[in-house]
Amino acid sequence: MSKHQYLFNMEKLTKIVATISDLNCSVGFIRSLHEAGMDVVRINTAHQQPEQTMDIVKNVREVSHKIPFMIDTKGPEIRTNNSEQGISLEEGETIRLQGHATKQSNKDCIYVDYPEIVQVLSRGSNIMIDDGDIELAVIEKHPGYVICRVQNSGMVRSRKSVNLPGIEIPLPALNEKDKEYIRFAMDHDMDYIAHSFVRNKKDVLAIQEMLDQRGSQVKIIAKIENQQGVDHIDEILDHVSGIMIARGDLAIEVPAERIPGLQAEMVKKCIRRKKAVIIATQMLHTMIDNPRPTRAEVSDIANAVFSGTDAVMLSGETAFGKYPLESVKIMTKTVREAEKSKTFTVDSEVMPHDNQISVFLSKAAVRSIQKLNTRAIITDTDTGKTARYLAAFRGRTPIYAQCYDQRVMRELALNYGVVADHMDVELSKKDFIKHTLTRLIEKGEIHDSDLIVVLAGNFGKKAGPSFVEISTASNMIQDQKD
């Protein structure tokens, strides 16, 4: 079997995060997305209440106990207030803008939910609404409000994002709804909190403090979507499990032409630090309304795969789009095709962890892919640390991680190349290898004659790996019977 034929049959390595809303979250719908390639369910809390979120959680868990949840919090953002029918704007006209917690916007004034917005604006400031679809320029500043000139025609609707490029806004890291959802995440055993508009480590530590008070194992993903987040990426990475490169807001805060370079740089930083990285926003945006993607969108997904990202994400495409299942299928096909031609090199700059034996054996396991054309790595893991370290080398074969903890199994669903399963009991070395290989052969993931690498330990699950074994799957199974 050729390399390309083999890659076509095996699990894809790059993961897919799909946003699910309460508008479309039936068990059948979720199952269809999961079977098509969805690995992680994202829930955007900006447009939901906890009781609606609970409906999604129940239905996902009915489909599979292996699917992790990512709760996306609102974070320190500004949005337009509600309006009855939206406000139509024409290029060149002027309109008043004012901050207020509750007032409805109308044809004379756009209200936003940050009461102090006028204090941070000045004449000449730009205001971007709804991911930059509408641009306003401040031409007059008055006590309590500003007068803006409309730069392009369009409609301002309720609860749309408001960005102030180049302006640092002293918003608190967490609002009350964020805190409510962090408690929800802890109460209902969620896996990840993706916090919006992270500016520095203080924003992350505010969440971690809440988690620590309850002894929660929920992990934090920092959404990087402003210049401050880019500037402080290293200190942010010190305190999170990964990042999401949210290119929609980021491309408003930062010149759009800089985004590809920043994206590539941040992906590389995450890989070398063994942190998960998700590339998000408008990956298949046209499929919200159309059954087929543009060539540019397909290339965008492929380039994300070539860069080594852990995951790519769908937002409106699956949350409220007309073609959600088709979007997941197209993304899965594109990922697999890109992985066939992706260059494989072992990155010597991946940061080692503190178990030197594990570091040495992991590198040997990964290099066997390059030197011996091994088809898969099998390992057992207690915390997921070894599996993540293996994943950081971005090999071209899957890492089958047998997990002692169901939470770790779900967490690893976000990491590149890791196919995680739960072991109900701690099996012996012989039973663990035999059980795993037999199951993978029955599923068609590997074949009897394939060279397999086993990275495991003889001294208990807490001790980490202590040996590497390389042989064909059939030889290993026979050896365990003898």
Alpha-carbon gap, residue 474 to 464, rounded angstroms:
26
79 carries an active-site annotation:
yes
CB 262 within 8 A of CB 302: no
42 carries an active-site annotation:
yes
> Tokens representing 202?
């203080």
Alpha-carbon gap, residue 247 to 292, rounded angstroms:
22
Which residue among 14, 45, 281, 318 is the active-site one?
281
β 311-314/276-280 pair status:
parallel
Alpha-carbon gap, residue 390 to 394, rounded angstroms:
8
Which residue among 31, 61, 66, 79 is the active-site one?
79
Which residue among 12, 42, 219, 336 is the active-site one?
42
Cβ-based burial of 329 (10 A; exposed 0-12, middle 13-18, buried ≥19): middle
Which residue among 15, 160, 201, 223 is the active-site one?
223
Alpha-carbon gap, residue 198 to 235, rounded angstroms:
11
Cβ-based burial of 480 (10 A; exposed 0-12, middle 13-18, buried ≥19): middle
Under DSSP, the state recorded for 86 is: -
Measured from the Cβ of residue 98, the count of other Cβ atoms closer than 10 Å reads 18
- Taking every pair of Cα atoms in the chain, the longest distance, rounded to a whole number of angstroms, is 85
CB 33 within 8 A of CB 328: yes
Alpha-carbon gap, residue 283 to 239, rounded angstroms:
27
CB 136 within 8 A of CB 154: no
The interaxial angle of helices 295-307 and 259-272, nearest 10 deg, is 30
Radius of gyration for the chain, computed over Cα atoms and rounded to the nearest angstrom: 24
Alpha-carbon gap, residue 423 to 13, rounded angstroms:
22
- Looking at the DSSP bridge assignments, the partners of residue 126 are 137
Alpha-carbon gap, residue 250 to 281, rounded angstroms:
10
223 carries an active-site annotation:
yes
- Looking at the DSSP bridge assignments, the partners of residue 145 are 142
CB 241 within 8 A of CB 415: no
Secondary structure percentages of the chain, helix, strand, coil, to 5: 40, 25, 35
Tokens 């409906």, residue located: 55
Spell 145-162 as b/e; 16+ CB within 10 A means b. bbbbebbeebebbeebbb
> Tokens representing 131?
């991911």
Catalytically active residues are: 42, 79, 223, 281
